[in-house]
Chain A
Amino acid sequence: MKKLFTLLLALVLGLGLFACDGAGEASGTLKWNIGAEPLTIDPTLNGASDGGDVINQTFEGLVREVEGIINPGIAEEWEVSEDGLTVTFHLRESKWSDGSDLTAHDFEYAFKRGMDPATASEYSWIWEYTNIVGSYEAVFEDGSLDDVGVEATDDTTLVITLKQPTLYFVSLMGFYHFMPVKQSAVEAVGGEDGLWAADPNLVVSNGPFVLTAYEAGEGLTLTKNENYWNSDEVYLESIDAKFNDDAQSAYNGYQTGLFDVIPDIPRELVPTLMAEDSEFYVFPLLGTYYYNFNLDLPVYQNVKLRKAFAYAIDREAICDALGAGELPAAGFVPPGFLDNNGDDFFEVSGTYGVASDDSNFDEAVALFAEAAEEMDMTVEELQAYLSGREFSYNTSLAHAAVAQLVAESWYEVLGVDMELYNMDWSDFQDYRRDGLYEISRGGWLTDFMDPAGLLAIFTTGNSYNDPNYSNPAFDTLMSEAQAATSPSIHFSKLYQAQAILISDMPIVPVYHYSDIMMVKDHVEGWSRSVLGSIDFTHAKLTNQD
């Protein structure tokens, strides 16, 4: 008994010393609302941003991107060969959360698992854009995983061979799909289909935090990972996260102190909070909100009609009514991508004559008339033909608001009164993919810091190409951009590709997303990647009053 007491005393004193010291001591629990419950939190299988937010806390890739800057992660340093075709990562000595050594072989395993068609990862298509030798063949053409240009030459060296120089390759390694997983954990009994990642008994991770509790439909708990290589600079003891996808109740919870961080705020409150609340944050988000035309239907194959629709909305008025920092979209690539000259892709590409205000309305009416003529119809006949057709979006008050703004504008400018139709997200995805719609909502966020991350979804046959757009010129430009040996060629092809896309207008770009969140002032040191994942690695809780 006495022994125990002494031990306790020593412990308390020790803690006291640490507290004076201030560094390396974890304190406090952060209360975080994730939003919707992630489908999976296995890095290789995950394909959604909510899962990505959790994975960003529990895993760490070769690099860690924070606010656009590529910081060393598990890789201490890396070098790119002169021809740009070989990237060598030198890994630091680090451990998994179970105390075993994390080696370059774990990365090799994780990468090949991602490419393996048997894994059926939602994100396997991204390997084509890594330009790793053999990765495209492995994913799409039954190529052998042994021929892939990923090799762990020793425990701390990972050598990647590329088909052509890829500027964004290193930054891509910070994306959740490229995080390491431990083979024994993945293949553990009962952990099939990514379940291991959500099972506190099976999970092994290498990030600043590790999962210690998971309750389906409720929430999860992350606890500081003492084996994390930089655990001295992790200050939170734990993160108590909940799955509350109702913005209103989450916001109420935030106000009453139930949450320190919430990812979503009821839309109507945004303009007021933006002006009044210092805890409200708006970030640009690298993505675009748009509407798809179903190009399988003859009427939408008329480019003039598509342009008439695209010109007949006042994007500034829409962004202003939404009021959360959205930007009018003329093209598909949002601001934030720098080209080979260091200029912003968005600025250089311009607007292609798609006005952000109402100045295109007259042209829209003229185009509509021309389209009607080409279809051997009078304007009234075309209006009547299109009116009452389905204009669909997935059920949400925010999407309903945008759809009503757009539909009303089409009604007033073009006289086309489409019927708004909303359905549940999971049904909507099938409905849209199967091409059962007429005009439907779409949204796309990039996964890597290159305009190709957005434009590529409109290549023929891409699984996210909802309009079923197919233009050989566009496809050629995209593959030439992918195969380009120099950045200047790469970007010039991408500029041309976007110009073709917008002149064909298979979609109506509406706005570029913004990301809003609220974080209590007593949470300090949190950060965010430009791709939109929140990062609590160095977060601290200061005195709460």
Chain B
Amino acid sequence: MRKEDFEFVDSSLKQDKEQIRTSLTYWKDAWRRLKQNRLALVGLIAIILITLIAIFGPLFTAHTYREQDNDKINTTPALDIYQIDDGLFVYVSRQYRLFIVSEDGVLGDLLVNTETNVNLRYKTYEYNGEEITLDYSYKFSDDPEYKDIDFTFTYKDVETFEKHKTVLNKTYPFGTDQLGRDVMTRVFYGARISLTVALVATLVNLFIGVAYGAISGLEGGKVDNTMMRIVDIINSIPLLLYVILLMVMIDNRGLWTIIITLGSVYWVGMARLVRGQVLSLKNQEFVLAARMLGVSKGKTITKHLIPNALGPIIVSMTMMIPTAVFTESFLSFIGLGISAPTASWGTLANDALGGLELFPYQLFFPSLAIAITMLAFNFLGDGLRTALDPRLRKG
């Protein structure tokens, strides 16, 4: 048998027949599975976007969060403009303030109101020495002929009935609030405050809650009993009441006070949850093995117990963020939270309540921001739960 009779295979084919995949770490695997979950990705992208807006948004708007233009109060995001003369457009706010406006929606000067007749329902304004008469009686007319007409303008003896068009407010894209501040900048700025409070408070909760719960669960016995009774005591006080008391006692108002009080109180739920997880894990074989090998208690907690309890921890954390946003807004409303003119989403929403009937957009934008943030965190939390749960790990 000669060597030539044989055909040698390429050395690269001499490998083991069994196909193996590259080894995946715990986190790589989680990321792989998270990527497959479309909703979670949407949530993640939304959170990243919101964070970016919070950090950089206020830098790119033309106004600051506190700057007031007391003329341009309560202007809407969409402007109904009327052409009262060649190239002369006006916009009238819901409070009957009349503005010169460009055709593409840049707000100009406020015109001076010279006369108001409530009975006949007209107002006159002065523009360059000429009089503009705004007749709003049509709005209250029962005559079906006028049912599409809200206002008419009379300028140089010509009466304008038809709205020219509706344009977007170029000066203030989200409109202005009751003091003439830019709602868009305030919502962006509010994201900073709301997210900072929520994130920091949640992180503080996370550390205290996880450490407390894990120690209590692993130690067991008297230690566990004592620690959990303390949690019971804290939990039996209505937390909001406790937070209010703390805020009053600390008596130093501001962002950090809220963060500290929220962080120092809301960890009890987390502690209970982690303890429960640790109790169910600590008698399993891998923990037993670790103990037999002489792994210290601290290492057991950080290397074995917490990673295995991460799923529920993360879910509870994502739920805590919206709770913190709400608590912060509530505290700000009753006068214990951040003080004006600083804005958080909660205070923005509260400020808008009074004028809801006339200026719903002032409530809409901060509410939308809160809603998007909550949904995003919930989607992401849900996705992370499935991705991180070792029991749901497959091949």
Contact = CB atoms under 8 A, between A and B. Distances in A.
Contacts of B358: 268-269, 272
Contacts of B180: 321
A400 B68 contact: no
Contacts of B118: 274-275, 278
A422 B178 contact: no
Interface stretch (A138-146, A153-161, A168-176, A404-412): A404-412
A433 B335 CA distance: 20
Chain B interface main SS type? loop
Interface in A241-279: 247-248, 266-269, 271-272, 274-276, 278
Contacts of B220: none
Contact of A248 (B73, B140, B340, B354): B354
Contacts of B350: 397
Interface string B334-360: 110001110000000011011111110
Nearest to B68: A408
A248 B253 CA distance: 28
A420 B339 CA distance: 6
A269 B355 contact: yes
Contacts of B334: 395
A79 interface: no
A395 B178 CA distance: 17
Interface in B134-193: 136, 139-140, 178-180
A272 B96 contact: yes
Given A278-B118, A397-B351, A422-B335, A269 B70 contact: no
B116 A275 contact: yes
Interface in B47-105: 66-68, 70, 73-74, 94-96
A499 to B, nearest CB: 30
A275 B122 CA distance: 9
Nearest to A408: B68
A545 B70 CA distance: 41
B275 interface: no
Interface string A391-435: 000010100110111011001000000011111100000000000
Nearest to B66: A408
A248 B356 CA distance: 9
B385 interface: no
B96 A271 contact: yes
Nearest to A419: B339
Contact of A321 (B66, B73, B121, B340): B73
B123 interface: yes
A323 interface: yes
Contacts of B123: 275
A380 interface: no
A248 B68 CA distance: 25
A421 B95 contact: no
A192 interface: no
A411 B73 CA distance: 19
Interface string B248-268: 000001000000000000000
Nearest to A268: B355
B70 A320 contact: yes
A317 interface: yes
> Contact residue range for chain B?
35 or more
User: Could you say which of A278, A404, A422 has the most chain B C-beta atoms within 10 Å of its C-beta?
Assistant: A404
A278 to B, nearest CB: 7
Nearest to B113: A320
A36 to B, nearest CB: 17
Given A266-B355, A275-B123, A404 B179 contact: yes
Contact of A268 (B74, B119, B339): B74
Contact of B339 (A276, A321, A422): A422
A248 B70 contact: no
A401 B179 contact: yes
Contacts of A272: 94-96, 358
A408 B341 contact: yes
Interface string B105-118: 00000000000101
Nearest to A400: B340
A150 B334 CA distance: 48
A276 B180 CA distance: 22
Contacts of A266: 354-355
Contacts of A268: 74, 178, 354-355, 358-359
A421 B339 contact: yes
B354 A276 contact: no
Contact of B178 (A275, A401, A419): A401
A208 B389 CA distance: 75
B96 A248 contact: no
Interface in A204-249: 247-248
A268 B357 CA distance: 9
A298 B161 CA distance: 62
B340 A276 contact: no
A276 B136 CA distance: 9
A313 to B, nearest CB: 11
A411 B340 CA distance: 13
A318 B70 CA distance: 8
B341 A405 contact: no
Given A268-B178, A395-B335, A405-B70, A323 B340 contact: no
A514 to B, nearest CB: 15
Interface string A298-330: 000000000000000010011011010000000
A400 B357 CA distance: 20
Given A267-B354, A272-B96, A276-B136, A407 B178 contact: no
B354 A397 contact: yes
Contacts of B70: 314, 317-318, 320-321, 405
Contact of B179 (A275, A278, A405, A421): A405
Contacts of A321: 70, 73, 178-180
A272 B354 CA distance: 13
A319 B136 CA distance: 24
B96 A275 contact: yes
Interface string A363-403: 00000000000000000000000000000000101001101
Given A275-B96, A275-B116, A405 B68 contact: yes
Q: Which one of A267, A271, A405 has the greatest number of beta carbons of chain B within 10 Å?
A: A271
Nearest to B342: A420
A323 B359 CA distance: 16
A395 B333 CA distance: 9
Given A321-B70, A395-B335, A404 B136 contact: no
A405 B354 CA distance: 17
A346 B180 CA distance: 31
29 contacts: A248-B354, A266-B354, A266-B355, A267-B178, A268-B178, A269-B355, A269-B357, A271-B95, A271-B96, A272-B94, A272-B358, A274-B118, A275-B116, A275-B118, A276-B139, A278-B118, A314-B70, A321-B178, A321-B179, A323-B95, A397-B353, A403-B340, A404-B179, A404-B341, A405-B179, A407-B341, A420-B339, A420-B340, A422-B340
Nearest first, the 5 A-B pairs at minimum CB distance are A268-B355, A271-B95, A266-B354, A395-B335, A422-B335
Interface of B: 66-68, 70, 73-74, 94-96, 116, 118-119, 121, 123, 136, 139-140, 178-180, 253, 334-335, 339-341, 350-351, 353-359
Given A321-B178, A403-B340, 8 more contacts: A248-B353, A268-B74, A276-B136, A318-B70, A397-B350, A401-B178, A408-B68, A421-B253
